[in-house]
Structure 1
Amino acid sequence: MSIGEYVYIGPGAKLYGVGGIHIGKGTIIGPDVTIYSANHVFREANYIPYDQRVEVKPVTISENVWIGGNVIIVPGTNIGEGCIVGAGSVVTGSIAPFSIVAGNPAKVIGSRDAAHYTRLKQEDKIYFRAKQLGTL
């Protein structure tokens, strides 16, 4: 598991890193979020409902992502830079940078202003960095 600078992980969060989890700089993860990076093998399994083998699929959360409370992120998910994930969402697959997603399964419901985001990033205006420096 790798976690960048100025990352906040809320209370009650559960990260199952068997398959690998990368969390980029400046990301905020809300309370009670669960991230899975592996799952039981059930296709062509030796037993039902699954067998003793585990299929690993890394999870990547890029820089400056905001993940709301009670989100579930499944194995193999890739969340692009600057995304916002609405509370209670179930995230699968790949989410394009600057997307705002919500729901089960999470679907794109909007997008961030990429130019504004880029300007703030160039100015190094990362929330938890500013909070740590006392410049808020």
Structure 2
Amino acid sequence: MNEKEKMLAGLPFDPRDPVLVGYRLGAKSVCHRFNMADPADLEDRMMLLAGLLRLKGAAHIEPNFFCDYGFNIYIGDGFYSNHNLTILDVCRVDIGSKVMFGPNVLLSGATHPVDPVERMSNEYGAPIKIGDNSWLGGNVVVLPGITIGNNCVVGAGSVVTRDLPDNVVAAGNPCRVIRSV
């Protein structure tokens, strides 16, 4: 099994693998061009990301945008993200249709071993899924392996450490369900 296959399977992998480094540098180059593009050229700017991400329809992402690989990010129709979206996509990240993100959202599919010796040589990850019609407020952090259901609202500044079911409002650090929608 090569390092990319290990990464996609959520197994420990070596991020210094030359193939993975090449993918990351390519993604970072596209993100750089997107972030430096004229903000008035909406279509041209999003076309840069269309070759990197798996877009399933219309999407709008405000600059700045950062990701590790891009090819693991699947975005549904009608997606909107405010400024400074960061997606660490060492595993698949699914974002549903008609989803909205406030500024400074972080989806972190990547993590590292607790043991300091292991941490020096590998990392691993777990997939993230955001359901349709959900809204993540500003400065929300979603940790590896989390699923957020359909029609959810996650309050600003929340750190989502466990799955959220459909149709809830949740907030806090750690994020907890406050009420039903």
Q: TM-score, normalised by structure 2?
A: 0.58
Give structure 1 stretches of 5+ with no counterpart.
113-136
- Given that residues 129 and 148 in structure 2 are in contact (C-alpha distance below 8 angstroms), is that contact kept between their aligned partners in structure 1? yes
In terms of fraction of residues, the more strand-rich structure is 1
Q: CA separation in 1, counterparts of 2:179 and 2:77?
A: 27
Give structure 2 stretches of 5+ with no counterpart.
1-72
Matches within 5 A, 1:1-136: 1-42=73-114, 45=115, 47=117, 50-112=119-181
Q: CA separation in 2, counterparts of 1:111 and 1:84?
A: 10
Number of the residue aligned with 1:117? none
CA RMSD after TM alignment? 1.3
* % identical aligned pairs: 36
Aligned length: 109
Q: CA separation in 1, counterparts of 2:113 and 2:91?
A: 13
User: How far off its partner does 1:51 sit?
Assistant: 3.1
Moved over 6 A (4+): none
Q: TM-score, normalised by structure 1?
A: 0.76
Q: CA separation in 1, counterparts of 2:131 and 2:147?
A: 8
Q: CA separation in 2, counterparts of 1:108 and 1:52?
A: 37
Larger RCO, structures 1/2 (Cα 8 Å, 6+ apart): 1
Q: Which amino acid aligns with 1:38?
A: A
Q: Which amino acid aligns with 1:101?
A: A
Q: Which amino acid aligns with 1:103?
A: G
